[in-house]
């Protein structure tokens, strides 16, 4: 069941959906914090990058809370579920699962350079992107959870 579906059930008055949605959100937050801590420990993330990811998570949590207050569900914000780095370590690729996008972030500035992907089942569209890998040539591989596909994106020079 998607988060949108869970939240829709909540708005229709389902207490069980609220418990499931809350449990999923708590578990997602715990998993994200563990990934950030591991990245800091093994040197894959700088303190600045970890701070950027934590700020994004806080922003997403605030947006979800606001969406429940006014009763309107919007597909915005995101949930960073996986990251990898360009071969030169200059760029960080972050899967934004809620928006079915991959955000490309400049590691030095912490700014989003670009993003690619959108929800769907065609080329360049993702059905719950969940895994990412970047090879030595800069090719980006995205694995889907629901779509059961692996996408390959070549770098543009």
What would the pLDDT profile of 8-33 be if each residue is shown by its tens digit? 333 333 333 334 445 556 666 777 77
63 and 107 housed in the same domain: no
114 and 153 housed in the same domain: yes
CATH number of the domain to which 147 belongs: 2.40.10.500
Share of the chain above pLDDT 70, in %: 68
Rounded Cα distance between 115 and 9, Å, is 30
pLDDT for the residue numbered 28: 67
Q: How many CB atoms lie within 10 A of CB 3?
A: 18
pLDDT for the residue numbered 36: 81
Count of structural domains, the chain: 2
pLDDT band (50, 70, 90) for residue 99? confident
Across the range 36-47, mean pLDDT stands at 83
Domain that holds residue 65: 1-75
63 and 83 housed in the same domain: no
pTM recorded for the entire structure: 0.55
- DSSP symbol at 99: G
95 and 141 housed in the same domain: yes
* Segment holding 130, helix H or strand E: strand 129-134
- Tokens for 30? 């715990």
Domain end position, chosen among 75, 107, 123: 75
pLDDT band (50, 70, 90) for residue 105? very high
Domain end position, chosen among 19, 44, 75: 75
Look at 72 and 111; give whichever has higher pLDDT.
111
Determine how β-strand 125-126 pairs with β-strand 118-119. Answer: parallel
Q: List the one residue out of 40, 57, 58 whose CA is nearest residue 48.
A: 40
68 and 4 housed in the same domain: yes
Radius of gyration of the chain (CA): 16
Mean pLDDT score across all residues of the chain = 75
91 and 121 housed in the same domain: yes
41 and 116 housed in the same domain: no
Across the range 92-104, mean pLDDT stands at 90
Residue whose entry in the numeric block shows the structure tokens 């490309």: 104
Look at 50 and 60; give whichever has higher pLDDT.
50
Domain end position, chosen among 75, 106, 123: 75
84 and 125 housed in the same domain: yes
- Tokens for 69? 């207050």
37 and 87 housed in the same domain: no
Across the range 94-118, mean pLDDT stands at 90
């Amino acid at each position: 069941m998607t988060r949108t579906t869970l939240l829709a059930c909540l708005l229709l008055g389902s207490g069980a959906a609220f418990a499931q949605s809350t449990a999923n959100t708590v578990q997602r937050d715990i998993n994200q914090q563990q990934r950030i801590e591991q990245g800091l420990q093994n040197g894959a993330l700088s303190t600045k990058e970890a701070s950027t990811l934590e700020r994004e998570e806080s922003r997403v949590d605030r947006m979800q809370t606001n969406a429940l207050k006014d009763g309107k569900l919007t597909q915005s914000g995101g949930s960073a579920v996986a990251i990898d780095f360009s071969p030169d370590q200059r760029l960080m690729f972050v899967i934004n699962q809620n928006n079915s996008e991959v955000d490309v972030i400049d590691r030095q500035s912490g700014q989003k350079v670009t993003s690619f992907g959108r929800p769907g089942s065609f080329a360049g569209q993702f059905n719950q992107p969940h895994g990412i890998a970047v090879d030595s040539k800069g090719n980006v591989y995205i694995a889907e959870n629901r779509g059961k596909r692996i996408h390959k994106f070549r770098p543009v020079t």
